[in-house]
Amino acid sequence: MQRSLHIDPNKCTGCRQCEMACSYEQEGIFNPSKSRIRVFMFDAEARFVPYTCTQCAEAWCMLACPVDAIKVDLNTGAKVVHENLCVGCKVCTIACPFGTINYMSDRGKVMKCDLCGGDPACAKACPTQAITYIDADWTGLERMRVWAKKTDAGATATH
Amino acid sequence: MNYLILGAGPAGVVAAETLRNTDPDGAITLVGAENEPPYSRMAIPYLLTGRIDERGTHLRKEPGWYKDRRIDVTSRRATAVHPGSKTVAFADGTSVPYDRLLIATGARPLRPAIPGLDLPGVHTCWTLDDARYIMDKARPGARVVLMGAGFIGSIVLEALAERGVTLTVVEMGDRMVPRMMNPTAGGMIKNWCRSKGVEVLTSTRILGIEGNGGQAKGGFLASLFRSKPANGGGALTVTLDNGHKLEADLVVISAGVRPNIEFLADSGIVMDVGIQVDEHMRTSAPDVYAAGDVAQGKDVSTGHNNIHAIQPTATEHGRVSALNMAGRPAAYKGSLQMNVLDTLGLISSSFGLWMGVEGGEAAEVIDTDNYKYLRLEFADDRMVGATAIGLTQHVGVLRGLIQTGVQLGPWKQRLMADPHRIMEAYLARTQA
Ligand SMILES: Cc1cc2nc3c(=O)[nH]c(=O)nc-3n(C[C@H](O)[C@H](O)[C@H](O)COP(=O)(O)OP(=O)(O)OC[C@H]3O[C@@H](n4cnc5c(N)ncnc54)[C@H](O)[C@@H]3O)c2cc1C
């Protein structure tokens, strides 16, 4: 059974441990701007929403990549950027309608969530279980999936 | 089922891959006109800068990738399509039958009617072969004139500058990337490029090019602008409409593209600028589909059929056409015009109706000193277009907001007050 990240904004306290853990896991430094998961704050409602790639089936980033630098990890289903192949053209960053693949100017490559190879650091770091890594069928990511369908330019069959 | 794909660019390769994933048994033939493994034009600038080698431009890199999927790849040029007999004629005299045909023959660069364009040292930058030629000529210190600062011209600009040439860019429009950026944004990019040592001339035309050997074409111009042998012996003299002349070792032409449809003239397939396709990527001929730069398909912004000539549209077309060809009906909601550009480190992007709509509203923040810019265009409470400079984080949500046509409700006013809140607006209106 494939697993995926389940995000429950109602449980998020905005502590940003996930951002720290992600940046440390991925880049070896504690720098939220390097994190693949970002917590957005809604000031007026004092609400926090952690947000990252859903590894959507449409895989807009992977489809648009001109050099085959984004591939599916067959174990986790994650769409993974292969930095040795990425030329930094950024076309994936505009093709992804969720804004979850971003360009790193300092490295000249793009970055996105790769599920840490099946053991996501953000979920481990989250003290309130706002982020969990669970069986794909159970995740509240359904809402995002539904949205992904609506966003889809039609690559899903109509029947 | 016997599938034939004309064109081995991104549209053709994505179609072949999707066909195989959808129909395990069909026969798939992928035909390109260049004698190269299927490659990506978009990767050429990175070949020019040396970031990748030729293999880095290949659309699929694992050895045996095509063979493993039983995709038969060949190189030959199609010269006619006969929908009546369901055959395609090729330049080598062969005729190949198909059950379902995909035309993904892309586009080619325009060659404006200017004297001297056929001279050695004057070249387009479109194919791998072009790239090899340019790499040979554009050596450090070489004087290079780039004709055209459109989207692709501006990408080539960066690659040439990185090669250490002395570069002059000549654009006839009043700003850089005029079909992607408004005057404010285009002006910002121009200032940036100049500050980085690239000479950019806008509102300027190239009238003619002469070889300093004296073999220039166009007798009238040649006599009008007879060139003296240049100091340092530039091979070419470029004459501008402001009276100035530029010495050049290489002139690169980037003056727009046109779809490769001439070979379809007698096919009966309905064409306008490109091949007209419906939302299933079908042409007017039964069992003939079209995708990519050659196809004029639905544009989600305008509702009309347009050619965008961009990579994301080519691959989305490729996927949708293949699903339909393999008998899995899929309707394409339409492509969105969008581009992202890196000019010597300044990153810019535009989406959809970035020029705005009649009766619409816009929100704009300009930070000239720091080269940052963001402009959002609205029609009622939906976002219809956007332009950004210096934005790299979550820039894709601009596509998400525009393409889904989500109603912004109270977020419209919040975005009008502070356009930078796009990510919050997106989350609030779509997921939270
Ligand atoms: C230098 C450069 C930089 C670019 N940068 C970007 C960018 O940053 N972002 C972006 O979105 N787009 C960019 N583009 C545009 C992008 O490359 C095209 O939109 C894309 O290649 C279109 O794909 P396609 O498969 O439709 O056509 P093409 O890639 O043009 O492929 C067409 C194929 O058809 C073959 N063919 C042509 N005629 C025939 C025939 N008669 N018979 C058989 N085969 C034929 C060709 O050999 C080729 O294999 C760039 C292009 C260039 C040249």
Pair B306, B281 in one domain: yes
pLDDT at A155 over 50: no
Pocket of ligand 1 from Cβ distances under 6 Å: A 89, 91; B 6-12, 31-34, 41-42, 44-45, 77-78, 104-107, 125-126, 152, 155-156, 260, 263, 292-293, 309-312, 314
Residue B174 in domain: yes
**Chain A residue whose CA is closest to B155:** A89
| Tens digits of residue pLDDT in B154-169 | 999 999 999 999 999 9
CA distance B368 to B218: 44
pLDDT score of B230 more than 80 = no
**A119–chain B nearest CA distance, Å:** 24
Q: Which of B76, B105, B154 to mutate to test ligand 1, by most ligand atoms within 8 A of the CB atom?
A: B105
Average pLDDT over residues B225-236: 53
Same domain? B142 vs B215: yes
B211 & B274 share domain:
no
Instruction: Collect all residues of chain B within an 8 Å Cβ-Cβ radius of residue A49.
Output: 427, 431-432
Q: Which domain holds residue B366?
A: 345-430
Mean of all residue pLDDT scores within chain B: 94
- Return the percentage of chain A with pLDDT > 70, whole number: 84
Mean pLDDT within B48-60: 97
For the segment A109-128, what is each residue's pLDDT rounded down to a tens digit?
999 999 999 999 999 999 99
> What does the block give as tokens for B8?
């081995």
- Residue B392 with chain A: CB contacts under 8 Å: 90, 93, 102-103, 105
CB contact under 8 A, A157 and B329: yes
Q: Which top CATH class is A1-52+117-148? A: alpha beta
B274 and B368 belong to one structural domain: no
Query: Is residue B286's pLDDT more than 80?
Result: yes
Same domain, B248 and B306: no
**Mean pLDDT on B274-300:** 98
Strand order in the sheet with B206-211: B206-211, B236-240, B245-248
- Strand bridging mode B100-103 / B2-6: parallel
Verify that B157 and B240 share a domain, yes or no: yes
CA-angle at B105, arms to B158 and B320, nearest 5°: 95
B331 with A150: Cβ contact below 8 A: no
B100, pLDDT greater than 70: yes
CA distance B114 to chain A (A): 32
Q: Where are the alpha helices (DSSP H) in B90-170?
A: 128-137, 151-162
Distance from CA of A110 to the nearest CA of B (A): 10
Side-chain half-sphere of B393: how many Cα atoms within 13 Å? 15
Domains in chain B: how many in total? 3
The span from the CA of B43 to the CA of B22, in Å, is: 28
Between chain A and chain B, how many beta carbons pairs sit less than 8 Å apart?
152
Task: Give me the mean pLDDT over the B293-311 stretch.
Answer: 96
CB contact under 8 A, A97 and B319: no
Q: Say if the Cβ atoms of B396 and A98 lie within 8 Å.
A: yes
Bridge partners for B248 per DSSP: B236
Domain limits of chain A? Answer: 1-52+117-148, 55-112
Residue that terminates a domain, selected from B255, B279, B295: B255
Please report the pLDDT score of residue B231 as a whole number: 39
Rg (alpha carbons) of chain B, rounded to whole number: 23
Cβ-defined contact of B329 to A103 (cutoff 8 Å): no
Q: Mean pLDDT, chain A, as a whole number?
A: 88
Spatial neighbors of B183 by CB under 8 A, at least 6 apart, are: B174, B175
CATH of domain A55-112: 3.30.70.20
* Whole-number pLDDT of residue B431: 76
Q: Are B393 and A102 an interchain contact pair (Cβ–Cβ within 8 Å)?
A: yes
Cα A148 to chain center, whole Å? 13
CA B309 to ligand 1 center in whole angstroms = 8
Judgement on whether residues B314 and B417 belong to the same structural domain of the protein? no
Q: How far is the CA of B333 from the centre of ligand 1 (A)?
A: 22
Contact A97 B397 (CB under 8 A): yes
Q: Which of A51, A64, A93 sits opposite B395 (nearest CB)?
A: A93
CB-nearest to B56 from A67, A102, A152 is: A67
**Inter-chain residue contact B397 with A99, CB threshold 8 Å:** yes
| Same domain flag for B131 and B234 | yes
B293 contacts in A (CB within 8 Å)? none
Does residue B273 fall inside a structural domain? yes
Determine the Cα angle at B78 with ends B77 and B81, to 5°. Answer: 180
What pTM, to 2 d.p., does this model score? 0.93
Indicate whether B393 and B363 sit together in one domain. Answer: yes
Sorting pLDDT into bands at 50, 70 and 90, what band is B223? very low
Contact A91 B10 (CB under 8 A): no
Do A97 and B396 count as a contact with CB atoms less than 8 A apart? yes
On the question of a common fold for A1-52+117-148 and A55-112, the answer reads yes
Atom of ligand 1 nearest to the CA of B159: 1
In this prediction, the answer to ipTM > 0.90 reads yes
Look at residues B274, B294, B325 and tell me which one is the last residue of a structural domain: B325
Residue whose CA lies nearest to ligand 1 atom number 47: B33
Task: Map chain A to HEC letters.
Answer: CCEEEEECHHHCCCCCHHHHHHHHHHHCCCCHHHCCCEEEEEHHHCEEEEECCCCCCCCHHHHHCCCCCEEECCCCCCEEECCCCCCCCCHHHHHCCCCCCEEECCCCEEECCCHHHCCCHHHHHCCCCCEEEEEHHHCCCHHHHHHHHHHCCCCCCCC
- Asked if the model's pLDDT at residue B32 lies above 90, the reply is yes
A-chain CB neighbours of B423 within 8 Å are 40, 51, 99
Closest Cα partner for B263 from B89, B4, B73, B11? B89
The whole-number pLDDT of residue A1 equals: 62
Atom 8 of ligand 1, residue of closest alpha carbon? B42
pLDDT at B240: 98
Q: Which residues contact B312 (CB under 8 A, 6 or more apart)?
A: A60, A63, A64, A91, A94, A95, B335, B338
The A-side interface with B (CB below 8 A) comprises: 9, 38, 40, 42, 47, 49, 51, 60, 63-64, 66-68, 85, 87-91, 93-103, 105, 143-144, 147, 150-159
On whether both B212 and B272 belong to a single domain, the answer is no
Amino acid at B287: D
Whether the per-residue pLDDT at B214 is higher than 60: the answer is no
- B417 closest CA partner among B376, B357, B380: B376
Partner-chain contact A100 B427, CB within 8 Å: no
Region A71-98: what's the mean pLDDT?
A: 97
Residue A143 has pLDDT above 50, yes or no: yes
Domain harbouring B359, CATH code: 3.30.390.30
Query: Tokens representing B319?
Result: 């996927």
Q: Rounded mean pLDDT of A124-142?
A: 82
Phi, psi of B312 (to 5 degrees): -60, -40
pLDDT of residue A138: 57
Rounded to the nearest 5 degrees, what angle is found at the Cα of B374, between the Cα atoms of B372 and B380?
170
Sheet architecture: strand order including B71-75:
B71-75, B27-32, B2-6, B100-103, B288-290
Q: Using one digit for the tens of pLDDT, what is the confidence trace for A5-21?
A: 999 999 999 999 999 99
Alpha-carbon gap: A115 to the closest alpha carbon of chain B (Å):
18
d(CA A89, CA B326): 32
Residue A141 has pLDDT above 70, yes or no: no
Which of B201, B225, B255 finishes a domain?
B255
> Does residue B180 share a domain with residue B128?
yes
CA-B295 nearest atom, ligand 1: 26
> Can you read off the two tokens belonging to residue B180?
């992607």
B40 interaction partners in chain A (CB closer than 8 Å) = 66-67
Together in a domain, B26 and B56 = yes
Integer Rg of chain A from CA: 15
- Does residue B336 lie in a domain region? no
pLDDT reported for residue A2: 79
Shortest Cα distance, chain A CAs vs residue B227, angstroms: 40
Helix, strand, coil percentages (3-state) for chain B, rounded to 5, are: 30, 30, 45
Neighbouring CB atoms inside 10 A of A13's CB total 12
B334 lies in a domain?
A: no
